[in-house]
Structure 1
Amino acid sequence: MTRKSRLSAPKSGVLFDELLVVMVQQGDRRALEQLHRRWNTRLIGAAYRFTGDSDLARDLAQECWIGIWRGIGGLRNPARFRSYAFAILHRRGSDHLRSRIKQRGFEAAAQRQEPATQDASQDEALALTQAFAALPADQRLAAHLHFVEGLTLPEIAAVQDIPEGTAKSRLFHARRKLKAALNPDIQGEDQ
Protein backbone atom coordinates (compact mmCIF):
# COMPACT_ATOMS: atom_id res chain seq x y z
CA MET A 1 0.00 0.00 0.00
CA THR A 2 1.44 3.35 -0.95
CA ARG A 3 1.66 6.24 1.49
CA LYS A 4 -0.98 8.16 -0.47
CA SER A 5 -3.47 5.28 -0.42
CA ARG A 6 -2.71 4.57 3.25
CA LEU A 7 -3.49 8.16 4.16
CA SER A 8 -6.60 8.50 2.01
CA ALA A 9 -8.13 5.07 2.62
CA PRO A 10 -9.09 5.40 6.30
CA LYS A 11 -11.29 8.49 5.94
CA SER A 12 -14.38 6.50 6.94
CA GLY A 13 -12.48 5.25 9.99
CA VAL A 14 -11.53 8.81 10.92
CA LEU A 15 -15.15 9.90 10.60
CA PHE A 16 -16.26 6.95 12.72
CA ASP A 17 -13.70 7.90 15.38
CA GLU A 18 -15.04 11.47 15.34
CA LEU A 19 -18.56 10.15 15.85
CA LEU A 20 -17.40 7.95 18.71
CA VAL A 21 -15.63 10.89 20.37
CA VAL A 22 -18.78 13.03 20.16
CA MET A 23 -20.83 10.17 21.59
CA VAL A 24 -18.32 9.69 24.43
CA GLN A 25 -18.47 13.41 25.17
CA GLN A 26 -22.24 13.02 25.48
CA GLY A 27 -21.78 10.22 28.03
CA ASP A 28 -22.17 7.10 25.86
CA ARG A 29 -20.18 4.39 27.63
CA ARG A 30 -20.49 1.91 24.74
CA ALA A 31 -18.90 4.45 22.41
CA LEU A 32 -16.00 4.70 24.83
CA GLU A 33 -15.62 0.92 24.81
CA GLN A 34 -15.71 0.91 20.99
CA LEU A 35 -13.11 3.68 20.83
CA HIS A 36 -10.93 1.66 23.20
CA ARG A 37 -11.30 -1.48 21.02
CA ARG A 38 -10.40 0.50 17.89
CA TRP A 39 -7.38 2.30 19.36
CA ASN A 40 -5.87 0.22 22.16
CA THR A 41 -3.75 -2.01 19.91
CA ARG A 42 -2.38 1.02 18.05
CA LEU A 43 -1.53 2.79 21.30
CA ILE A 44 0.21 -0.31 22.65
CA GLY A 45 2.14 -0.57 19.38
CA ALA A 46 3.22 3.05 19.60
CA ALA A 47 4.15 2.61 23.25
CA TYR A 48 6.17 -0.50 22.34
CA ARG A 49 8.08 1.40 19.67
CA PHE A 50 8.74 4.09 22.24
CA THR A 51 9.72 1.77 25.11
CA GLY A 52 10.95 -1.45 23.49
CA ASP A 53 9.28 -3.39 26.32
CA SER A 54 5.91 -5.10 25.81
CA ASP A 55 4.90 -5.07 29.51
CA LEU A 56 5.84 -1.42 29.90
CA ALA A 57 4.04 -0.64 26.63
CA ARG A 58 0.79 -2.14 27.96
CA ASP A 59 1.14 -0.19 31.20
CA LEU A 60 1.85 3.01 29.32
CA ALA A 61 -1.16 2.48 27.03
CA GLN A 62 -3.36 1.93 30.09
CA GLU A 63 -2.08 5.17 31.61
CA CYS A 64 -2.82 6.85 28.29
CA TRP A 65 -6.42 5.60 28.38
CA ILE A 66 -6.87 6.99 31.87
CA GLY A 67 -5.74 10.37 30.52
CA ILE A 68 -8.01 10.05 27.48
CA TRP A 69 -11.03 9.14 29.59
CA ARG A 70 -10.42 12.03 31.97
CA GLY A 71 -9.82 14.65 29.29
CA ILE A 72 -11.92 13.69 26.29
CA GLY A 73 -14.71 16.00 27.37
CA GLY A 74 -12.39 18.94 26.75
CA LEU A 75 -11.37 17.85 23.25
CA ARG A 76 -12.85 20.64 21.15
CA ASN A 77 -12.20 19.11 17.74
CA PRO A 78 -13.11 15.39 17.63
CA ALA A 79 -11.23 15.09 14.31
CA ARG A 80 -7.99 15.58 16.29
CA PHE A 81 -8.51 12.48 18.43
CA ARG A 82 -5.53 10.68 16.87
CA SER A 83 -3.11 13.50 17.71
CA TYR A 84 -4.76 13.94 21.11
CA ALA A 85 -4.33 10.25 22.00
CA PHE A 86 -0.69 10.11 20.89
CA ALA A 87 0.08 13.37 22.71
CA ILE A 88 -1.28 11.89 25.94
CA LEU A 89 0.76 8.75 25.34
CA HIS A 90 3.87 10.85 24.86
CA ARG A 91 3.27 13.00 27.94
CA ARG A 92 2.36 10.10 30.21
CA GLY A 93 5.48 8.15 29.46
CA SER A 94 8.21 10.54 28.43
CA ASP A 95 9.89 11.06 31.81
CA HIS A 96 9.68 7.44 32.86
CA LEU A 97 10.75 6.18 29.45
CA ARG A 98 13.77 8.45 29.22
CA SER A 99 15.18 7.14 32.48
CA ARG A 100 14.33 3.54 31.63
CA ILE A 101 15.90 3.76 28.18
CA LYS A 102 19.06 5.26 29.63
CA GLN A 103 19.26 2.45 32.19
CA ARG A 104 18.72 -0.40 29.79
CA GLY A 105 20.43 0.90 26.68
CA PHE A 106 20.64 -0.71 23.30
CA GLU A 107 22.59 -3.74 24.55
CA ALA A 108 19.71 -4.85 26.76
CA ALA A 109 17.29 -4.44 23.86
CA ALA A 110 19.52 -6.55 21.64
CA GLN A 111 19.75 -9.28 24.30
CA ARG A 112 15.94 -9.50 24.46
CA GLN A 113 15.71 -10.24 20.76
CA GLU A 114 15.20 -13.83 19.67
CA PRO A 115 18.06 -15.30 17.67
CA ALA A 116 17.70 -14.58 13.99
CA THR A 117 16.63 -17.48 11.81
CA GLN A 118 17.76 -18.23 8.29
CA ASP A 119 14.57 -16.75 6.87
CA ALA A 120 15.46 -13.43 5.20
CA SER A 121 12.18 -11.73 6.12
CA GLN A 122 12.71 -12.58 9.80
CA ASP A 123 16.27 -11.27 9.55
CA GLU A 124 14.96 -8.03 8.06
CA ALA A 125 12.29 -7.71 10.76
CA LEU A 126 14.91 -8.25 13.45
CA ALA A 127 17.22 -5.69 11.85
CA LEU A 128 14.38 -3.17 11.69
CA THR A 129 13.45 -3.80 15.34
CA GLN A 130 17.06 -3.36 16.41
CA ALA A 131 17.45 -0.25 14.28
CA PHE A 132 14.35 1.28 15.88
CA ALA A 133 15.61 0.30 19.35
CA ALA A 134 18.91 2.08 18.67
CA LEU A 135 17.20 5.41 17.92
CA PRO A 136 16.97 8.03 20.64
CA ALA A 137 13.49 7.95 22.22
CA ASP A 138 12.26 11.19 20.62
CA GLN A 139 13.40 10.12 17.15
CA ARG A 140 11.93 6.64 17.68
CA LEU A 141 8.53 8.10 18.55
CA ALA A 142 8.61 10.53 15.61
CA ALA A 143 9.51 7.69 13.23
CA HIS A 144 6.77 5.45 14.60
CA LEU A 145 4.16 8.19 14.38
CA HIS A 146 5.14 8.96 10.79
CA PHE A 147 5.91 5.56 9.27
CA VAL A 148 3.51 3.35 11.21
CA GLU A 149 0.66 5.66 12.20
CA GLY A 150 0.85 7.98 9.18
CA LEU A 151 0.83 11.24 11.13
CA THR A 152 1.88 14.42 9.35
CA LEU A 153 4.69 16.70 10.53
CA PRO A 154 2.29 19.16 12.19
CA GLU A 155 0.59 16.27 14.00
CA ILE A 156 3.93 14.84 15.14
CA ALA A 157 4.93 18.28 16.39
CA ALA A 158 1.67 18.53 18.34
CA VAL A 159 2.09 15.06 19.84
CA GLN A 160 5.65 15.77 20.97
CA ASP A 161 4.87 19.39 21.90
CA ILE A 162 7.73 20.72 19.77
CA PRO A 163 8.06 23.11 16.82
CA GLU A 164 7.34 21.61 13.40
CA GLY A 165 10.97 22.18 12.35
CA THR A 166 12.17 20.08 15.30
CA ALA A 167 9.75 17.30 14.33
CA LYS A 168 11.08 17.44 10.78
CA SER A 169 14.66 17.26 12.05
CA ARG A 170 13.89 14.28 14.31
CA LEU A 171 12.23 12.46 11.45
CA PHE A 172 15.13 13.27 9.10
CA HIS A 173 17.73 11.96 11.55
CA ALA A 174 15.67 8.88 12.37
CA ARG A 175 15.24 8.07 8.67
CA ARG A 176 18.97 8.52 8.07
CA LYS A 177 19.93 6.32 11.03
CA LEU A 178 17.43 3.62 10.07
CA LYS A 179 18.68 3.63 6.50
CA ALA A 180 22.30 3.35 7.65
CA ALA A 181 21.47 0.56 10.10
CA LEU A 182 19.55 -1.42 7.51
CA ASN A 183 22.07 -0.89 4.72
CA PRO A 184 25.61 -1.40 6.05
CA ASP A 185 27.08 -0.28 2.70
CA ILE A 186 26.07 3.33 3.49
CA GLN A 187 28.95 5.18 5.07
CA GLY A 188 28.16 7.90 7.58
CA GLU A 189 28.69 9.25 11.02
CA ASP A 190 25.68 7.41 12.47
CA GLN A 191 27.09 3.91 12.06
Structure 2
Amino acid sequence: MTDQNPLSTPNSGVLFDELLVVMVQQGERAALDRLHARWNARLIRAAYRYTGDADLARDLAQECWIGIWRGLAQLREPARFRSYAFAILHRRGATHLRAKIRDRDHMANPPAAEHIGQGTGTAQQDEAIALNQAFAKLPPDQRLAAHLHFIEGLTLKEIADVQSIPTGTAKSRLFHARRKLKAALDPSLNQGDV
Protein backbone atom coordinates (compact mmCIF):
# COMPACT_ATOMS: atom_id res chain seq x y z
CA MET A 1 0.00 0.00 0.00
CA THR A 2 1.39 3.39 -0.94
CA ASP A 3 0.97 6.46 1.17
CA GLN A 4 -0.65 9.10 -0.98
CA ASN A 5 -0.74 12.66 0.20
CA PRO A 6 -4.45 13.65 0.16
CA LEU A 7 -3.43 17.15 -0.91
CA SER A 8 -1.80 15.87 -4.11
CA THR A 9 -4.85 14.15 -5.59
CA PRO A 10 -6.48 15.55 -8.73
CA ASN A 11 -9.39 16.93 -6.66
CA SER A 12 -7.22 18.47 -3.96
CA GLY A 13 -7.35 21.90 -5.61
CA VAL A 14 -11.14 21.80 -5.64
CA LEU A 15 -11.18 20.72 -2.00
CA PHE A 16 -8.77 23.48 -1.02
CA ASP A 17 -10.85 26.07 -2.89
CA GLU A 18 -13.97 24.75 -1.15
CA LEU A 19 -12.26 25.12 2.23
CA LEU A 20 -11.18 28.66 1.38
CA VAL A 21 -14.72 29.59 0.30
CA VAL A 22 -16.16 28.27 3.57
CA MET A 23 -13.53 30.24 5.49
CA VAL A 24 -14.40 33.41 3.53
CA GLN A 25 -18.07 32.82 4.27
CA GLN A 26 -17.13 32.67 7.96
CA GLY A 27 -15.46 36.07 7.69
CA GLU A 28 -11.78 35.17 7.33
CA ARG A 29 -10.21 37.89 5.16
CA ALA A 30 -6.94 35.98 4.74
CA ALA A 31 -8.85 33.17 3.02
CA LEU A 32 -10.13 35.62 0.39
CA ASP A 33 -6.58 36.83 -0.18
CA ARG A 34 -5.45 33.22 -0.62
CA LEU A 35 -8.33 32.49 -3.01
CA HIS A 36 -7.36 35.59 -5.00
CA ALA A 37 -3.73 34.46 -5.13
CA ARG A 38 -4.78 31.01 -6.40
CA TRP A 39 -7.29 32.24 -9.00
CA ASN A 40 -6.43 35.72 -10.24
CA ALA A 41 -3.98 34.65 -12.96
CA ARG A 42 -6.44 32.02 -14.23
CA LEU A 43 -9.22 34.58 -14.45
CA ILE A 44 -6.98 37.04 -16.27
CA ARG A 45 -5.97 34.32 -18.78
CA ALA A 46 -9.61 33.38 -19.36
CA ALA A 47 -10.58 37.05 -19.75
CA TYR A 48 -7.75 37.55 -22.24
CA ARG A 49 -8.92 34.57 -24.27
CA TYR A 50 -12.41 36.03 -24.22
CA THR A 51 -11.50 39.62 -25.13
CA GLY A 52 -8.11 39.50 -26.84
CA ASP A 53 -7.11 42.63 -24.91
CA ALA A 54 -4.61 42.31 -22.03
CA ASP A 55 -5.62 45.56 -20.31
CA LEU A 56 -9.32 44.76 -20.56
CA ALA A 57 -8.60 41.25 -19.28
CA ARG A 58 -7.02 42.65 -16.11
CA ASP A 59 -9.95 45.05 -15.67
CA LEU A 60 -12.47 42.24 -16.15
CA ALA A 61 -10.67 40.06 -13.63
CA GLN A 62 -10.76 42.91 -11.13
CA GLU A 63 -14.49 43.42 -11.74
CA CYS A 64 -14.95 39.67 -11.41
CA TRP A 65 -13.30 39.73 -7.97
CA ILE A 66 -15.67 42.46 -6.87
CA GLY A 67 -18.57 40.25 -7.95
CA ILE A 68 -17.05 37.22 -6.25
CA TRP A 69 -16.51 39.13 -3.03
CA ARG A 70 -20.07 40.49 -3.03
CA GLY A 71 -21.74 37.16 -3.78
CA LEU A 72 -19.54 34.58 -2.10
CA ALA A 73 -21.59 34.62 1.10
CA GLN A 74 -24.60 33.37 -0.90
CA LEU A 75 -22.73 30.58 -2.71
CA ARG A 76 -24.55 27.48 -1.45
CA GLU A 77 -22.17 24.93 -2.93
CA PRO A 78 -18.59 26.02 -2.13
CA ALA A 79 -17.24 23.15 -4.26
CA ARG A 80 -18.65 24.95 -7.32
CA PHE A 81 -16.41 27.99 -6.86
CA ARG A 82 -14.66 27.39 -10.20
CA SER A 83 -17.91 27.50 -12.19
CA TYR A 84 -19.15 30.40 -10.07
CA ALA A 85 -16.03 32.49 -10.73
CA PHE A 86 -16.00 31.79 -14.47
CA ALA A 87 -19.74 32.55 -14.72
CA ILE A 88 -19.16 35.98 -13.17
CA LEU A 89 -16.26 36.55 -15.55
CA HIS A 90 -18.39 35.50 -18.52
CA ARG A 91 -21.19 37.90 -17.58
CA ARG A 92 -18.76 40.79 -17.09
CA GLY A 93 -17.02 39.95 -20.38
CA ALA A 94 -20.30 39.72 -22.28
CA THR A 95 -21.30 43.14 -20.95
CA HIS A 96 -18.01 44.64 -22.15
CA LEU A 97 -18.29 42.96 -25.56
CA ARG A 98 -21.82 44.29 -26.04
CA ALA A 99 -20.58 47.79 -25.22
CA LYS A 100 -17.68 47.35 -27.64
CA ILE A 101 -20.03 46.26 -30.42
CA ARG A 102 -22.24 49.31 -29.80
CA ASP A 103 -19.20 51.54 -30.14
CA ARG A 104 -18.17 50.47 -33.65
CA ASP A 105 -15.69 53.33 -33.99
CA HIS A 106 -13.28 51.49 -31.74
CA MET A 107 -13.75 48.27 -33.69
CA ALA A 108 -12.19 49.61 -36.90
CA ASN A 109 -8.83 48.12 -35.94
CA PRO A 110 -9.11 44.76 -34.15
CA PRO A 111 -6.58 44.20 -31.35
CA ALA A 112 -3.30 42.73 -32.54
CA ALA A 113 -2.19 39.45 -31.04
CA GLU A 114 0.45 39.87 -28.37
CA HIS A 115 3.95 38.56 -28.86
CA ILE A 116 3.73 38.03 -32.61
CA GLY A 117 6.87 36.22 -33.61
CA GLN A 118 9.00 36.98 -36.59
CA GLY A 119 10.04 33.44 -37.29
CA THR A 120 13.12 33.63 -35.08
CA GLY A 121 11.72 31.69 -32.11
CA THR A 122 11.87 28.01 -31.40
CA ALA A 123 9.36 25.64 -32.94
CA GLN A 124 7.56 25.49 -29.59
CA GLN A 125 7.34 29.30 -29.43
CA ASP A 126 6.09 29.44 -33.01
CA GLU A 127 3.42 26.84 -32.20
CA ALA A 128 2.35 28.82 -29.12
CA ILE A 129 2.09 31.98 -31.21
CA ALA A 130 0.07 30.16 -33.88
CA LEU A 131 -2.24 28.74 -31.20
CA ASN A 132 -2.76 32.18 -29.63
CA GLN A 133 -3.53 33.67 -33.04
CA ALA A 134 -5.96 30.83 -33.81
CA PHE A 135 -7.69 31.36 -30.44
CA ALA A 136 -7.95 35.11 -31.14
CA LYS A 137 -9.82 34.42 -34.39
CA LEU A 138 -12.53 32.36 -32.69
CA PRO A 139 -15.88 34.01 -31.91
CA PRO A 140 -15.91 35.08 -28.23
CA ASP A 141 -18.33 32.39 -27.03
CA GLN A 142 -16.36 29.61 -28.75
CA ARG A 143 -13.10 31.11 -27.49
CA LEU A 144 -14.34 31.06 -23.91
CA ALA A 145 -15.72 27.52 -24.21
CA ALA A 146 -12.41 26.29 -25.63
CA HIS A 147 -10.40 28.05 -22.93
CA LEU A 148 -12.60 26.69 -20.15
CA HIS A 149 -12.33 23.15 -21.52
CA PHE A 150 -8.74 22.92 -22.76
CA ILE A 151 -6.99 25.27 -20.34
CA GLU A 152 -9.13 25.15 -17.20
CA GLY A 153 -10.40 21.58 -17.56
CA LEU A 154 -14.10 22.31 -17.10
CA THR A 155 -16.66 19.71 -18.16
CA LEU A 156 -19.37 20.41 -20.72
CA LYS A 157 -21.90 20.77 -17.89
CA GLU A 158 -19.68 23.31 -16.12
CA ILE A 159 -19.12 25.24 -19.36
CA ALA A 160 -22.88 25.30 -19.91
CA ASP A 161 -23.39 26.63 -16.38
CA VAL A 162 -20.72 29.31 -16.84
CA GLN A 163 -22.18 30.51 -20.14
CA SER A 164 -25.82 30.05 -19.04
CA ILE A 165 -26.57 27.84 -22.04
CA PRO A 166 -27.83 24.27 -22.56
CA THR A 167 -25.19 21.53 -22.45
CA GLY A 168 -25.82 20.78 -26.13
CA THR A 169 -24.97 24.36 -27.06
CA ALA A 170 -21.76 24.16 -25.02
CA LYS A 171 -20.89 20.94 -26.84
CA SER A 172 -21.56 22.59 -30.20
CA ARG A 173 -19.42 25.63 -29.34
CA LEU A 174 -16.59 23.38 -28.25
CA PHE A 175 -16.93 21.23 -31.39
CA HIS A 176 -16.77 24.25 -33.70
CA ALA A 177 -13.91 25.81 -31.75
CA ARG A 178 -11.93 22.56 -31.90
CA ARG A 179 -12.56 22.25 -35.64
CA LYS A 180 -11.47 25.85 -36.30
CA LEU A 181 -8.37 25.50 -34.13
CA LYS A 182 -7.36 22.29 -35.91
CA ALA A 183 -7.90 23.92 -39.31
CA ALA A 184 -5.88 26.98 -38.33
CA LEU A 185 -3.01 24.90 -36.99
CA ASP A 186 -3.01 22.29 -39.75
CA PRO A 187 -3.97 23.85 -43.12
CA SER A 188 -3.92 20.41 -44.79
CA LEU A 189 -7.22 19.72 -43.00
CA ASN A 190 -8.86 22.46 -45.11
CA GLN A 191 -8.11 20.81 -48.46
CA GLY A 192 -11.47 19.03 -48.50
CA ASP A 193 -13.39 22.22 -47.61
CA VAL A 194 -14.14 24.50 -50.54
* TM above 0.5: yes
CA shift, 1:68, in A, is 0.1
Is 1:166 matched with 2:166?
Answer: no
Aligned in 2, Cα 1:185/1:150: closer, same or farther, shift over 3 Å? same
Q: Which moved more, 1:93-102 or 1:12-21?
A: 93-102
> Counterpart of 2:32?
32
> Counterpart of 2:89?
89
SS at match of 2:61: helix
Aligned in 2, Cα 1:98/1:189: closer, same or farther, shift over 3 Å? farther
Aligned in 2, Cα 1:155/1:111: closer, same or farther, shift over 3 Å? closer
How many residues align structurally? 184
Partner Cα separation in structure 2 for residue 133 and residue 171 of structure 1: 15
One-letter code aligned to 2:122: D
Q: Is the 8 A contact 2:156 2:171 kept in 1?
A: yes
Q: Which moved more, 1:49-58 or 1:126-135?
A: 49-58
Q: Deviations over 1:118-160 (max 9, x none)?
A: 4211111111000000000000000000000000000000000
Partner Cα separation in structure 1 for residue 86 and residue 160 of structure 2: 11
Partner Cα separation in structure 1 for residue 108 and residue 114 of structure 2: 10
Q: What are structure 1's unaligned runs of at least 5 residues?
A: 1-7
One-letter code aligned to 1:140: R
CA shift, 1:99, in A, is 4.8
Is 1:20 matched with 2:20?
Answer: yes
Q: Is the 8 A contact 2:52 2:113 kept in 1?
A: no
Q: Indicate the RMSD between aligned Cα atoms, in angstroms.
A: 2.3
Q: Is the 8 A contact 1:177 1:190 kept in 2?
A: no
Q: Is the 8 A contact 1:131 1:182 kept in 2?
A: yes
> Counterpart of 1:4?
none
Is 1:50 matched with 2:53?
Answer: no
One-letter code aligned to 2:168: G
Pairing 1:96-115 to 2, within 5 Å after superposition: 96-100=96-100, 103-104=106-107, 108-110=111-113, 113-115=116-118
Q: Which has the larger radius of gyration?
A: 2
Identity of aligned residues (%): 72
CA shift, 1:117, in A, is 2.1
Q: Deviations over 1:67-94 (max 9, x none)?
A: 0000001100000000000000000111
One-letter code aligned to 2:50: F
More helix by proportion, 1 or 2? 1
- Normalising by structure 2, report the TM-score: 0.87
- Normalising by structure 1, report the TM-score: 0.88
Q: Is the 8 A contact 1:133 1:140 kept in 2?
A: yes
> Counterpart of 1:80?
80
Q: Is the 8 A contact 2:115 2:129 kept in 1?
A: no
Partner Cα separation in structure 1 for residue 87 and residue 193 of structure 2: 28
SS at match of 2:82: helix
